[in-house]
Amino acid sequence: MSDWIIALDGTEAGHTAALSLAILAAFLHAVFGALQKGRFDPWATRTTVDACYFLMALPIVLFVVPWPEAHMWPILAGVFFIHLAYKLLQAGAYSFGAYTVVYPVVRGTGPLVTVVAAGIVFGEIFTGLQWAGVLTMTAGIFGLAIYNIVHTHVGRRKLLGALGLAFATGVLVAVYTTYDAFGIRASADPFTFLAWFFLIDGLSFPILFHRRVLTHPDRAALIRRGFVGAVVAIFSFGSIMLATRLDKVGEAAVLRETSTLFAAAIGILFLKETVGPRRIVLMALIALGAILVETGG
């Protein structure tokens, strides 16, 4: 599998595979976000998810993938601290604000910063049409966030705190996307990076917040959700990281933000939310932006 992924790098087939992987990551990321914002405490949910994917990664690290090269250890150490900061901000944002308010702000901030960072780190260049697509998508995502903010019943002070955390989380999304893309490209075997990522990233929250799980009144249901969330997280993050290995980091990051469309669909189909004409127009802008980014390259 690793040899096949490496052979696709830089080819037209690799570009097509990266597109499919980024869209898959978008769908799974929306599912993962919805799992974190529900009847369970987001801190306990994230802790359980991390513990589950730590346990899933452990036998892969020990018995399946090659050992990381010497130069990968500092990179993996950076993964631990960057993702810890991201998860603390994300869980805080979900604690303060509604999912439909927080999620679009996080996802709207990420692609703009990532495209700029990918240009600096990897020398990627977007065409004028692609930049138009990025801005169109970002306008749609932030428009959706503003619409949700106007219709939320959260207190103004609490809402401002949630928005501040959501914006900071979006910046961290861009930081970890660029950093992890660098990491998976630096590893001779992409699956070595992914397996060690989940092992290392799965340590922090179980160490810091295990009491929230142990004292939870419905641990069995929480663990079931954590297991499902871990499976979704592995495929979601694995998909986007392989996409950044195969093609442009900026393009993959932008296409992943179509997750906002999938999040809206989840709200409509499963949470029975109503969708008016304004939201339909905003979601159409997000889709149009993604199309421009893909076709404008």
Residue 231's pLDDT is: 96
Q: For the chain, which ranges sit under pLDDT 50?
A: none
Q: How far apart are CA 111 and CA 114, in angstroms?
A: 5
Residue 86's pLDDT is: 92
Q: How far apart are CA 92 and CA 254, in angstroms?
A: 24
Q: How far apart are CA 63 and CA 289, in angstroms?
A: 43
For the chain, the C-alpha Rg in angstroms (whole number) is 19
> Residue 88 contacts by C-beta under 8 Å, 6 or more apart in sequence?
none
Give residue-wise pLDDT tens across range 120-149: 999 988 889 999 988 898 888 888 778 777
Residue 148's pLDDT is: 72
* Residue matched to tokens 């697509």: 133
Cβ-defined contacts of 149-158 (< 8 Å, 24+): 149/101, 152/97, 152/98, 152/100, 152/101, 154/97, 154/98, 154/101, 158/96, 158/97
Residue 254's pLDDT is: 84
Residue 273's pLDDT is: 63
* Residue matched to tokens 């096949």: 4
Residue 272's pLDDT is: 64
H, E, C per residue of 117-164: HHHHHHCCCCCHHHHHHHHHHHHHHHHHHHHHHHCCCCCHHHHHHHHH
Give residue-wise pLDDT tens across range 218-245: 899 999 999 999 999 999 999 999 999 9
Report residue 283 as tokens. 């979601």
Residue 57's pLDDT is: 97
Residue 200's pLDDT is: 96
Residue 39's pLDDT is: 65
Q: How far apart are CA 34 and CA 267, in angstroms?
A: 9
Phi-psi group of 280: left, alpha or beta (phi > 0 → left; psi -120 to 50 → alpha; rest → beta): alpha
